[in-house]
Amino acid sequence: MEELTTERRRPGGIRRVVVVVPSFFTLANLFFGFWAVVMAFNGNFKWAGFFICFAGVLDMFDGRIARLSNTGTRFGAELDSLVDIVSFGVAPAMLMYFLEFASAGKFGWVVCYLFVVAAALRLARYNVASHGKPHSNFFTGLPSPAAGMTLATYYPFSQTQWYRASIGYLDFQHEGLTVLVLLLAALMVSNVKYPRWPRIGFRSAAGIFGLLLHLGVLAGAVLAPSSFLFPLGLLYMTYGLLRSTVLSLLDRGGQSGPETAEPTPAVPSLTDRIRKENR
């Protein structure tokens, strides 16, 4: 009897464990986001940026685990958004503030605050737009993890020899970072479409492409994180902008083409009029 009771309880216990796993990844995401703020305050900007990237990897895993196990809940979605505001809104903004804008007075913290506001609005809009709707292949607006990790990886990239040889000699770091922070904030609340990462598979060309893309990004992130991650973030940001611009120009070109003449309404014949009057 005791064995039967144990057998009956196992599925429920397994189910509860599966439900808890995505939340564990979400809270680990928060841990690295908070740790990144602490490291930035202590002046360790390189590891602060990498901790934000670790949070981004965990954020990707918790969503995929929830979808694959069919254990996504409203609680998990709201918790994920609250955590993302810290890891990809507050943490990158504080990193930029301590790195570059602390000496700029009120202007510096206002720029960083605008980034946090944009991340919060982006996440709130995503929750409202995606609630009860089917999964889409595109995000509306730049995803907050992509924006946060782009800022997070700037400092490691700025310490590379390639940066110093090609860009570092130009004296526009402060102005360039101001433009970058504000541009990322504007893209998060924009209507620019950004593609999701393709799914991994072996039965289709799209799945194989997704596998190769994931392996390529993983190889670049492991072998040369300082030189690879920041250009990758800029490439993703620029791709969405260029795609949106090209589609907008094509739409305008199609609308400004030669207008087709409206069909002239048919005039009823005399026979049709007589039949209509006799009815």
In 3-state terms, what secondary structure has residue 138? strand
| Whether pLDDT at 271 is above 60 | no
Q: Which of 60-69, 85-94, 199-208 has the highest mean pLDDT?
A: 85-94
Judge whether 84 and 125 are in contact, CB under 8 Å. no
> CA angle, 35 as apex, 30 and 38 as ends, to 5°?
135
Q: Among 5-19, 122-136, 168-182, 251-265, which is the least confidently predicted range?
A: 5-19
What's the pLDDT at 4? 39
Q: Which of 210-214, 222-226, 257-261 has the highest mean pLDDT?
A: 222-226
In 3-state terms, what secondary structure has residue 190? coil
Mean pLDDT of 138-162: 92
Domain coordinates in residue numbering, the chain: 2-249
Q: Among 77-81, 174-178, 251-255, which is the least confidently predicted range?
A: 251-255
User: What are the structure tokens assigned to 132, written together?
Assistant: 């009860």
Condensed to tens digits (0 to 9), the pLDDT of residues 174-191 reads: 788 999 999 999 999 999
What's the pLDDT at 20? 59
| Whether pLDDT at 64 is above 50 | yes
User: What are the structure tokens assigned to 59, written together?
Assistant: 């954020």
For the chain, what is the mean pLDDT? 81
User: What are the structure tokens assigned to 143, written together?
Assistant: 């995803």
Residue partners of 201: CB distance under 8 A and separation at least 6: 207, 208, 210, 211
Judge whether 192 and 240 are in contact, CB under 8 Å. yes
What's the pLDDT at 10? 45
In 3-state terms, what secondary structure has residue 20? helix
Task: Please state, in angstroms and rounded to a whole number, the distance separating the CA atoms of residues 82 and 78.
Answer: 6
Determine the topology of domain 2-249 in CATH.
Answer: Four Helix Bundle (Hemerythrin (Met), subunit A) (1.20.120)
Closest C-alpha to 57, from 127, 145, 136, 129: 145
